[in-house]
Chain A
């Protein structure tokens, strides 16, 4: 197991390195960046001085080496657009909002999704099952951005049904466990997509396990139907559901980029979007590495979870 973990860890490092390199050269190959926009009105001599200050006069490979060296020390540089902003500072001030939003989205999406999936599996073939199917198809096909706007239009503000705030996010003492009215709409907007995915995956996994021979064995020793579902069906269904989890975490992160912008949430996502539109190279680079790290780590955790839920997989890893 230790050897397996070590190898996976090395893979993670290599992946991160590739992401960093790819992003760097992609950004370098695009003409123009935040700096060119900033200095466009300055006289020629001043322009050259600023470019020199940021090091953009040097050849791309040299810049790459310097940036990589600094990045290894956790320094991605200062924002070009807003001096004083560093990746660390942005994460420190903006991460809480993103973490709260994303966890609420994941918890809501996964719980409701799994619940709907179990209901659909138990009532398969009936009107409830079809209702859930249609609902799932609807929320999958409509982008969360549109859902966000529709929610804002009909549920928020003075004209809305619930008079919820249209934009904004709890601050200060309410940062983690207060100001729920601000969080409701963005959470729903981001979660709906995952509800659909989880409902479908859960239903299919449940149906697979319901017809497994071992459920008949469980019934044959007098186990009640609800216990059969709980002890044998749900447990066996979790294997495919878990494969879905890293995708969810990565997807929720990506989805919240836009949700944060639409709802004016001071999170990492909205800053990331602004950095990209402003071509703020150091910040884009730092944020990309941050987002990739989270995605890769969540995939890594899934692999470990696999072994816990399905003992057959653990053994194979041991033999490595």
Chain B
């Protein structure tokens, strides 16, 4: 235990997880679906990173890639690199992978009702994780009961013997979290952990995950399509669209100085308390592009109200903002030679769509 803590101290400044140029495709009858198209990011020890985006933008595929859970017909393409604590996940042997999954990096799934085996007692499923990672059956049982208590399930001893369908939705998600954190992993990936839950339970579950980071220094990747969930919780936010990262920054940067028109649009779609009565909720027109034949230029161009000719033709460069380089966005608006009238229009949009901006 103490040894593990020491290790954590040493690597504090080094990223725990590095993802470089991750590309994942699914080979279907319709053709090659390019779910993730070259994304790079890293997660530091003890950091909570949120990946946000619409359905089908590649969030979950990214999560599964990190866990090396991509199965046929999906494939992580050559040249993609996922380094966990410096080790290449793709090159891991079966044994190493078994230790890595659940032991060092684990996952909380969206719908615990289907993610837990319906015909197996909840306690036993938590025990399974412990037993795989070297616990004896007897110790594992005690630990599983302790874990159930620790994630806020009352009567843990009795609950241990129950089946998933005897749990309420929130309790099930708690059990799922207990299972994920059983072996004290250094990274927990939560794939839409609260989407199936109501708002009160949502807050409790997020609180539970946050406690995990604060107490054990666990890094968390939170996948969500809901800015409301992310707002009170994440340190760093990554916005994904059509298999690409279009903007990335700290929570403050994304909420108060968003740079990408898509982020403006997303933030504009969140209802706000300071809006006047009967103000219509903004929506983004159109649908995300088909990833069998992804667009040549910026993926958001077709839906963007500031679309320029260059947006349709060429991929936008990634531009970094600020001094420490935490904030970046991929948009032609920030190119040197962006036309003045579009910039003027952008200012208006940035203000009305995304809330306050500094340029204003």
Which A residues lie at the B interface, using CB under 8 A? 212-214, 216-224, 231-232, 235-236, 239, 309-312, 315
Contact = CB atoms under 8 A, between A and B. Distances in A.
Contacts of B100: 222
Interface string B92-125: 0010011111110011010100111111100001
B69 A218 contact: no
Contact of B119 (A218, A221, A222, A311): A311
A309 B120 CA distance: 10
Given A213-B109, A236-B119, A310-B119, A218 B128 contact: yes
A198 to B, nearest CB: 20
B117 A222 contact: no
A87 to B, nearest CB: 42
Given A222-B97, A222-B98, A222-B101, A213 B129 contact: no
B99 A222 contact: yes
B69 A221 contact: no
Given A220-B67, A221-B129, A214 B116 contact: yes
Contacts of A217: 107, 109, 115-117, 125, 179
Interface of B: 67, 69, 94, 97-103, 106-107, 109, 111, 114-120, 125, 128-129, 132-133, 163, 165-166, 179-180, 182
A211 to B, nearest CB: 10
A218 B133 CA distance: 13
Given A220-B69, A222-B133, A312-B118, 18 more contacts: A213-B109, A213-B111, A214-B114, A217-B179, A220-B101, A221-B102, A221-B128, A221-B129, A221-B182, A222-B102, A223-B98, A224-B98, A232-B120, A235-B117, A236-B117, A310-B118, A311-B165, A315-B165
A231 B125 CA distance: 10
Given A214-B118, A232-B117, A236-B119, A221 B111 contact: no
Contact of A221 (B94, B114, B132): B132
Contacts of A212: 114
Contacts of B117: 214, 217-218, 232, 235-236
A173 B355 CA distance: 92
Contacts of B125: 217
A309 B99 CA distance: 30
Nearest to B101: A222
6 contacts: A216-B109, A221-B180, A222-B133, A223-B128, A235-B120, A315-B165
B110 to A, nearest CB: 9
A315 B167 CA distance: 13
B340 to A, nearest CB: 51
A282 B101 CA distance: 68
B178 to A, nearest CB: 12
Contacts of A219: 69, 101
A214 B115 contact: yes
B339 to A, nearest CB: 48
A309 B179 contact: no
Contacts of B132: 221-223
Q: Chain B interface secondary structure, helix, strand, loop or mixed?
A: helix
A213 B114 contact: yes
Name the residue in A219, A221, A311, A315 with the highest tally of chain B Cβ atoms < 10 Å from its Cβ: A221
A309 B118 CA distance: 11
A315 to B, nearest CB: 8
Name the residue in B101, B107, B117, B128 with the highest tally of chain A Cβ atoms < 10 Å from its Cβ: B117
B115 A221 contact: no
A189 to B, nearest CB: 36
Contacts of A220: 67, 69, 101-102, 106-107, 109
A114 B266 CA distance: 52
A309 B128 CA distance: 19
Nearest to A224: B98
A230 B209 CA distance: 32
A231 B165 CA distance: 19
A140 B69 CA distance: 39
B98 A216 contact: no
A312 B128 contact: no
A221 B163 contact: no
Given A213-B114, A311-B163, A221 B106 contact: yes
Contact of B101 (A221, A231, A236, A315): A221
Contacts of B163: 311-312
A309 B117 CA distance: 12
Contacts of A216: 69, 109, 115
Nearest to B176: A217
Nearest to B126: A221
B69 A222 contact: no
A18 to B, nearest CB: 35
Contacts of A310: 118-119
Contacts of B107: 217, 220
A310 B164 CA distance: 12
A195 B102 CA distance: 39
B29 to A, nearest CB: 13
A56 to B, nearest CB: 56
A223 B125 CA distance: 11
A312 B101 contact: no
B130 to A, nearest CB: 9
Contacts of A224: 94, 98
Contacts of B69: 216, 219-220
A310 B117 CA distance: 11
B82 to A, nearest CB: 15
B119 A213 contact: no
A223 to B, nearest CB: 6
Contacts of A223: 98, 102, 128, 132
Contacts of A213: 109, 111, 114-115
Contacts of B120: 231-232, 235
B73 to A, nearest CB: 11
Name the residue in A218, A231, A236 with the highest tally of chain B Cβ atoms < 10 Å from its Cβ: A218
Nearest to A235: B119
Contacts of A312: 118-119, 163, 165
B336 to A, nearest CB: 46
Contacts of A232: 117, 120
